[in-house]
Amino acid sequence: MKKLTLFSILIFALVLAGCNLPGSQQDDVESDDSMATEIAKILTGTPVEIQPSATPVVEEPTEAAEPTEVEETEEPTLEPTDIPEETKEPELTATPEDEEETPTPTAEPTETLAETDPARTLGEPDWIDTLADSEGWAIGYSEYSSIEFEDGYLKLTADLDVDAWRLTWPFLEDFYLEAKMQSPECEGNDHFGIMFRVPANANANRGYLYGITCDGKYGLRRWDGQVMYSPIAWTESDAINQGEDEMNTMGIMAEGAQLTFYINGEKVDEVSDNAYLAGSFGIFVGGTNVDDLTVWVDQIRYWTIE
């Protein structure tokens, strides 16, 4: 009888211990729910396209001057060398995605760098894009531009007579950034170049535009979404290789508010401007002389500055 009682007590104890098992399973469910929530937060952080506005813009007379209000019906007075600043807010930006690797084109012979070229002393770049494919770039529809990747080039076309741009995903503070580009068909004050320090990818309506014109000028503009300022007016430079098939390497050294500009390794200008101190970068193109003006970009790379 005692043996039977002990046996019954042992069975009862095991039943009570078994009541803890569902609690353990509940902990696993709560852990899975937490992980799903974190994944959802990451996925919903993807930037979205913001529709641009058609607000007209004007140039800043000098770096220190306040912007001049312009009536909508009044045409701004332009000097012969000025470019009409009918710039739209941007189109698309990109986030990094996992894509199949595309074979890299055969490397070109090492070019001779100018004595003043920062690339001579900075060592290996921290990031390089040979543009053999579209990885990291926005390739969707935009009413202002079209983009394709062909023959080892990024080819960006302005579909309207306004500046248009596409951005890639790295977000930089202090850096040296350079891009090799050309325009097979380009005339007069048609222009193209690098957009940089764009503060917000998902609403890319601010930033700097460092560009060159087809008739041999360079300039720096600052776009705040409403007004286009000109910290560096369009300036002639012998450093620019002119011609339809000529390639130019444009470089920007950005350290805090200090911005220094290079063309084919030669320092051409510098300015202090602290409006934007960090952001993404990309390529822009714009003009009125050539229909469907296109810029071909062969390579982009940067070095981060500590």
Query: Quick one: pLDDT band at residue 31, thresholds 50, 70, 90?
Result: very low
Average pLDDT over residues 155-165: 94
Domain 118-304: homologous superfamily in CATH: Exo-inulinase; domain 1 (2.60.120.560)
Instruction: Provide the residue ranges of all domains of the chain, joining segments of one domain with +.
Output: 118-304
State the pLDDT at residue 92.
59
Separation CA 145–CA 132 (nearest Å): 20
203 SS3 class: helix
Q: Could you tell me which residues come within 8 angstroms of residue 194 by beta carbon, excluding any fewer than 6 positions away?
A: 177, 179, 209, 210, 211, 250, 252, 281, 282, 283, 284
Average pLDDT over residues 204-226: 95
Mean per-residue pLDDT over the chain, rounded = 75
User: 228-236 and 258-263: which strand pairing?
Assistant: unpaired
Flag whether pLDDT at 220 surpasses 70: yes
Flag whether pLDDT at 44 surpasses 70: no
Separation CA 149–CA 139 (nearest Å): 9
pTM of the entire predicted model: 0.68
Q: Could you tell me which residues come within 8 angstroms of residue 153 by beta carbon, excluding any fewer than 6 positions away?
A: 131, 296, 297, 298
Flag whether pLDDT at 13 surpasses 70: no
Q: Which pLDDT tens digit goes with each residue over 95-123?
A: 444 444 434 444 444 567 888 899 999 99
Flag whether pLDDT at 272 surpasses 90: yes
Rg of the chain taking only CA atoms, in angstroms? 27
Separation CA 152–CA 164 (nearest Å): 21
Strand order in the sheet with 191-198: 164-167, 280-286, 191-198, 207-213, 217-223, 228-236
Instruction: Tell me the residue ranges of DSSP E strands in the chain.
Output: 127-129, 145-150, 153-158, 164-167, 175-182, 191-198, 207-213, 217-223, 228-236, 248-255, 258-263, 266-272, 280-286, 294-304
Average pLDDT over residues 248-257: 98
State the pLDDT at residue 115.
85
Question: Does residue 209 contact residue 284 with C-beta atoms inside 8 Å?
Answer: yes
Flag whether pLDDT at 154 surpasses 80: yes
Partners of 188 in beta bridges:
none
Average pLDDT over residues 58-83: 40
Average pLDDT over residues 146-152: 95
Which of 28-32, 59-63, 75-79, 114-118 shows the lowest mean pLDDT across its residues? 75-79
The one-letter amino acid at 78:
L
State the pLDDT at residue 43.
34
Separation CA 225–CA 84 (nearest Å): 16
